Amino acid sequence: MTVLHLADETEAADLAAFLSRLLHYDRGAAVRLQAAGTALAVFGRPPSFDVLVVRAVGLAKPYENGLDVTLDVTVSAGEFLESVDERAATAAVPAAVTGPPWAGVLPPRGGWRAEPGLPAPERLRATVAAAIGEFRARTEELTPDARTRAALDRIGRDIWSREIAHTRLPLRAVHAAHSLGFLRPGTEPADTGLFSSGAWLRLRTPYGSVAVRRAGLGSLDVSVR
């Protein structure tokens, strides 16, 4: 079994917290692991947000059992979480699973350019909080017989499809970042950024990134690997 030696206990705890949040939204979640050298990227797709998320994890050293160059495998998020030993700062890579469709199409590795206009992290958190409050208020206004899944979905689409300022970044991407622990209190504006590459937008923070396809751009600039 391949054992990953994480950089320290904090990295192990953050990885476990990230996996736990993904499993909160999908108990059968899968994650794609990609690593080279001492850097591990964990990709996931929480279904509630329709975005791709990635948590970068530092490794203390490359892999055991001969995997000393790269690692690329899709595994069960639950099994991976169970293997994380926070005190030892290690994690074992579970057996590969047949990945969901999203795992075969990831954002491009390069070609990212900075996009202007992203509000400060505090303002982003406030925007998400206001949107959550609006969603609750609008659903509570519905009569019990009108509070159907279709009605709730319509309200959700109306709110979470809104763009942040003039960035073309949908609010659902910021909601995902907030819900997965990427927009933590104390995050400095200089540590966050918005980037684009072809059809993709990526919100980057020190704790992880959220990538989303921009509407109306078809199947341009996908990376199948």
Residue pointed to by tokens 């990609």? 34
pLDDT band at 38 (very low <50, low <70, confident <90, very high): confident
pLDDT band at 224 (very low <50, low <70, confident <90, very high): very low
CATH of 3-106, one of 2.60.40, 3.10.150, 3.90.320, 3.30.420: 3.10.150
According to DSSP, the residues that pair with 210 across neighbouring strands are 53, 203
Which residue from 66, 193, 53, 175 is spatially nearest to 117, judged by alpha carbons? 193
pLDDT of residue 217: 39
Report how far residue 107's alpha carbon sits from residue 224's, in angstroms, rounded to the nearest whole number: 9
Question: How is the chain split into domains, by residue range?
Answer: 3-106, 113-197+204-224
Q: What is the pTM of this model?
A: 0.88
Is there a contact between 203 and 164 (Cβ–Cβ < 8 Å)?
no
Report how far residue 97's alpha carbon sits from residue 166's, in angstroms, rounded to the nearest whole number: 40
pLDDT tens digit sequence for 131-176: 999 999 999 999 999 999 999 999 999 999 999 998 999 999 999 9
Is there a contact between 172 and 161 (Cβ–Cβ < 8 Å)?
yes
The secondary structure of residue 146, as a DSSP letter, is G
According to DSSP, the residues that pair with 92 across neighbouring strands are 3
pLDDT of residue 223: 43
